[in-house]
Structures are given as structure tokens and as C-alpha cells.
Amino acid sequence: MTINVTVWGENVHEQTNEVVARIYPEGMHHCIAEGLNEAEGIHANAVTLQDPEQGLSEETLENTDVLLWWGHAAHGDVLEETVDRVQARVLQGMGLIVLHSGHYAKIFKRLMGTTCSLKWREAGERERLWVVNPGHPIVQGLGDYIELPHTEMYGEPFAVPNPDEVIFISAFEGGEVFRSGLTYKRGNGKIFYFRPGHETYPIYYNEQVKTVLKNAVKWARPEGSRWIDSCPNVPADQAPNPVEVKGEGLHKPGEEGFK
């Protein structure tokens, strides 16, 4: 069965920075989608912040199994209603892969419930992403580590909740370390945070990085039935073991969920 993927990019640096435009002439979102489409069974489309409904309409999300998110300069431009739609779909079972500076995206901070802050430095230094969970589906086809010759440093502490799994730990030339691959479950949806991807380096052309993203899409795809978030009232006479109503209740029989 085909996994339908949407790659969301804010598409700002590509329009304003000559270096980024030269490395990614069609945008990082298209580069990521093209890499995913190399894999059998994955069909990826790219959308951007500038598209109608910020690229993430109800229809688009309804037809998305896994969403990849890259943002940096325009986190504040993402509307709360867009975040609401994405959050609802993650809870229902849509996979979410958050890339690089997407750690500060509204959707990631909402799902984590923390600031998601970290240390950083842009010096073009070497990074080694050590595979610390070699049996995990996301790292299949890799060796002991991925080496990126030039990248932006992210350093601990990373202000996120303790993850379900740590997949990668990065070691940087300057001495810092960082948990660069983390998994979470929110509602029925799987989330993977993957650190590499600074826009002034050709990281999304790296074959090992592309392998990680292909594996991550297959790992994050929905499993089982969709969970619909609702809060129905179950009348006493419709309980698995019907009960006698005793006393005065606050809510009316058959009343729907409340906020």
C-alpha cells in the first residue's frame, strides 16, 4: 500500500538568501520530496506556507499518512488554526517528522508541551550522528554513524520531554553533543524529530540522510484504525453493565462532550 506523504516547507530562505537558493533552487521541500519518491511505496508531495490555507487544508491532511515539517524564519506566521488541524490529525494517527529548526515550530512545541530550546552555533563544523539504537527501523541500512562534513551545531540541553526512544546522538567538532533523533507517541500518531538540515548546507542530498527519512516515513505511517478524539456521554442504560441512576447529575442524558 502506498504511503502518502506531504512535505511542508516555509519556503522563505529559498526566496531571500542567495546561498540557499543556489543549493536548493526548487526549495528544500522539493528536494526532500524527490528523495522520498525514490523509495518504492512512497508518494510525496511538497507544499509551502505560501500555498492556500498555508498548504495544510483539511483535504490535504485527510489524504496525508505522514507529514514532514521544515521551518525556521517564519514560525510565527503559521496560524493557530493550521496548528489545530495538524494536531488533530496527529492525534488521529498521522505520522509527523520534524526536521532541524522545526524544533521551534508551533506544532512541535504544542505536542511536546515545552519550549524545545537548545544551544546552537553556525560554524560549518563536522558532525557525526552516532546510531545508538541499531535495531530500530529508522536506522536500517546505515553503518555506525552518519558524518556530515559541514553543518550547524545544536547542543544540549534540549528542552523537550524525555523521548520514547533515542535513535541518534550527535558529536560535533567543537565538543558539544545532542540527541539528534528522538521518537514520541501522541494520541495515535508517531513523531520523529531529526536534527540535520541546516539550509546553507546540502544535507538533504546526502544519501544516508535520505535513507533515514525514507525509513522514518515507513516507521511513522498510521497503524490500525483512526482514533477520533471525542467525549461522548454514555447513558446509564447503555453501559456494558446497565446501572441505576442515583442522585441528581450535572449533565443531561445523552449530552455530548464538553470543554
Task: Say if residues 158 and 179 touch (Cβ distance below 8 Å).
Answer: yes
Using CA atoms, how far apart are residues 99 and 186, in angstroms rounded to an integer? 17
The domain that contains 106 carries what CATH number? 3.40.50.880
> What's the pLDDT score for residue 55?
98
Produce one character per residue of 59-97: b if its CB has 16 or more CB atoms within 10 Å, e if not: ebbeebbbbbbbbbeebeebeeebbebbbbbbbbbbbbb
Q: Say whether the peptide bond before residue 253 is cis (omega within 30 degrees of 0).
A: no
pLDDT, tens only, 45-101: 999 999 999 999 999 999 999 999 999 999 999 999 999 999 999 999 999 999 999
Task: Give the residue among 211, 224, 227, 220 at the shortest CA–CA distance from 65.
Answer: 220
Write out the E strands in 13-156.
Answer: 42-48, 66-70, 95-99, 119-131, 145-155
Task: Give the residue among 156, 130, 157, 139 at the shortest CA–CA distance from 214.
Answer: 139
> What's the pLDDT score for residue 225?
82
Tell me whether residue 253 is in a domain: no
Tell me whether residue 151 is in a domain: no
Tell me whether residue 195 is in a domain: yes
User: Which burial class, exposed, middle or buried, applies to 224 when counting CB atoms under 10 A from its CB (0-12, 13-18, 19+)?
Assistant: exposed
Tell me whether residue 102 is in a domain: yes
Pick out the chain residues at pLDDT < 50: 258-259
Tell me whether residue 62 is in a domain: yes
> What's the pLDDT score for residue 231?
80
Tell me whether residue 70 is in a domain: yes
Tell me whether residue 53 is in a domain: yes
> What's the pLDDT score for residue 259?
44
- Alpha helices in 37-145, H assignment, sequence order: 58-62, 80-92, 106-112
Number of compact structural domains in the chain: 1
Tell me whether residue 60 is in a domain: yes
Name the residue range of residue 36's domain.
3-113+181-220
- Grid cell, residue 142, equals 546505515
Which contacts qualify for 103-107: CB closer than 8 Å, 24 or more apart? 103/158, 103/160, 103/193, 104/71, 104/72, 104/75, 105/69, 105/71, 105/75, 105/78, 106/75, 106/78, 106/80, 107/69, 107/78, 107/83
Using CA atoms, how far apart are residues 140 and 142, in angstroms rounded to an integer? 6
> What's the pLDDT score for residue 235?
86
Task: Say if residues 142 and 182 touch (Cβ distance below 8 Å).
Answer: no
